[in-house]
Chain A
Amino acid sequence: QSALTQPASVSGSPGQSIAISCTGTSSDIGADKYVSWYQQHPGKVPKLMIYEVNDRPAGVSDRFSGSKSGNTASLTISGLQAEDEADYYCSSYTTSTTQIFGGGTKLTVL
């Protein structure tokens, strides 16, 4: 199975909105609702930000939202803040009952 495809980097200014895309296939992202997103600050443990395409765990800011269209999922961060600068990874469950991650996107807050 190949990794999901994410842009290597995205950037935005404080207060702006950005979106990170995650492209897979009909065997993973396109197959069901099991897409999740993780935030990882340098040297830290990944943190679940979105699960099942667009649900947020308790405690995650509503500035983070998820969506999916066909084989592509997206994470949108609105009202960008300096603390949002981190690496972001998408993940999907697959029809082979495995899990797969994207290559990661480095978000820079200008």
Chain B
Amino acid sequence: QVQLQESGPGLVKPSETLSLTCTVSGGSMRDYFWTWIRQPPGKGLEWIGYIFYSGGTSYSPSLQSRVSISADTSKNQFSLKLKSVTAADTAVYYCARGRSGNDYWGQGTLVTVPS
């Protein structure tokens, strides 16, 4: 059974960089897309971007200037970096498998950016 687990700071100061890592267990990263999705408190899901196991990426146009996703398949991990954060980036951040049908999700991690 594939499992994903997000890790990283729960509090990030304004203008700093949000950094999260997703660790994949119970399966290989090979041949799959790996995605980051966020959900502000009380709001809907927002797609952030994905990475293919071999390194190709795609990002949300609204976040593209601030976001980067990388992967370390030797560690079965992929990571998210979001620069210059503001209070609007406060959200539960999920990592998930897949590109057009996200079948496995992490439990999510709340990242707060104080205003």
Query: Does residue B102 face the partner (Cβ distance < 8 Å to A)?
Result: yes
Interface size class of B (residues with CB under 8 A): 20 to 34
- The answer to whether A89 touches B100 (Cβ under 8 A) is no
B-side contacts of A101, CB under 8 Å: 37, 44-47
Interface size class of A (residues with CB under 8 A): 20 to 34
Complex CA distance for A104 and B103, rounded to whole angstroms: 18
Render A10-48 as a binary contact track against B, CB cut-off 8 A, 1 for contact.
000000000000000000000000111010100001111
- The answer to whether A103 touches B44 (Cβ under 8 A) is yes
User: A residues within 8 Å of B by Cβ?
Assistant: 1, 3, 34-36, 38, 40, 45-48, 51-52, 57, 87, 89, 91-93, 96-104
User: B residues within 8 Å of A by Cβ?
Assistant: 35, 37, 44-47, 50, 58-62, 94, 99-103, 105-108
